[in-house]
Amino acid sequence: METNILCYIDRGVGWLKLNRPQALNALSIEMVESLYVTLDTWRADPKVSLICISGEGTKGLCAGGDMRFFYDQRNNNVEEFAQRFFATEYRMDLMIHQYPKPILVYMDGIVMGGGVGLSVGASERIVTEKTKWAMPEMNIGFFPDVGASYFLNQMPGHAGRYLALTGETIQPADVMYIGAANRYMESTLWEEFINEIQKKNWNLHNARKQICELLDSFCSQRVEESPLSVLQSKIDKHFAYETVEEIVTSLGIAADLGDDWAFKTKSIIQSKSPTSLKVTLSQLQKGKNQSLTSCFNMELALSMNFMQNHDFYEGVRSVLVDKDRNPHWRPNSLAEVRKADVESYFHHNINVSNTLL
């Protein structure tokens, strides 16, 4: 049987390849457990000096977690599966942020949700001309997880809020601009780059220096201007408000004055789950002054609560099951989502063994 994670060690390099191309390398429970165990083992293995993570197939690194699975398990003890999946995934993502050895992630094609979680904490994050990056959880009535409470707050101005609340897909220059990648390489050079890695004998003493030098010779210094950077002042103006209603109102005023971007952005936000929007804005506000570990623990509580949320299953149905893109949110207006309802998502009696502290 073909494994969904290919892993092997060659000349001091640990290779990890997501091997589920028919599902855009979406992460299953088995995949996150395999990745976590392998990374944990290689952390102390003197035979591994450098780790390279990539996705098999031609479409991308990873389209995120396999959310269709939770929809299918919704009447079959879904919380047990969810706790196992999210706790392991978040531990793995946290480990990548704190890893003592260089990790290189090849972010070609689709990098979304769980794929962002796998890449954003790595030491070397390579985008290509084909990269399509997003935190698209708003589309399925969920919230941006995998450490987003922390890393979205590190982005310029209120770019993180904008990307979270719209679920917008961005291009390579934007990914570099927001700090979610630090290298740009033409995808046609990847095979040659791998060949160069495989020619060397890597050791713990100079792996970090070696990989930086090799990347410098393959990566472009110049990337085109980021469209997101051009919009930054608009984003900061509208997304500085502390409630979703005020953000929508601000965009509406600009739209009425002829700003097409504001009109489009307002329409996008208004199509999302009101509950998801309000929980997500609160999540980012709370995450602003928290450590990365605290953010992951907060997100674990959120993810478990979303497993009991109508909008999550309705969002998955509309995007991944029936694909009609016509979700019926409950409640379907921002005014109906009370502050107490939002706050309740941040409290969950999670088994202590499954927190990340």
Chain centroid to Cα 59, Å, comes to 17
Catalytic annotation, pick one of 89, 137, 174, 314: 137
Check if 167 is active-site. no
Catalytic annotation, pick one of 114, 121, 160, 315: 114
Catalytic annotation, pick one of 12, 55, 65, 147: 65
Task: Give the contacts of 249 (CB within 8 A, at least 6 positions apart).
Answer: none
Q: How many residues does the chain have?
A: 357
Check if 145 is active-site. yes
The sign of the CA dihedral 267, 268, 271, 277 is negative
Give which of 189, 188, 190, 170 is closest to 180, Cα–Cα.
Answer: 170
Task: Give the contacts of 196 (CB within 8 A, at least 6 positions apart).
Answer: 214, 218
| DSSP character at residue 336 | G
CA distance 65 to 75: 19
Catalytic annotation, pick one of 66, 93, 108, 145: 145
Chain centroid to Cα 26, Å, comes to 12
Q: Transcribe 85-154 into DSSP letters.
A: HHHHHHHHHHHHHT-SS-EEEEE-BEEETHHHHHHTTSSEEEE-TT-EEE--GGGGT----TTHHHHGGG
Chain centroid to Cα 27, Å, comes to 12
CA distance 336 to 136: 23
Check if 236 is active-site. no
Catalytic residues: 65, 114, 137, 145
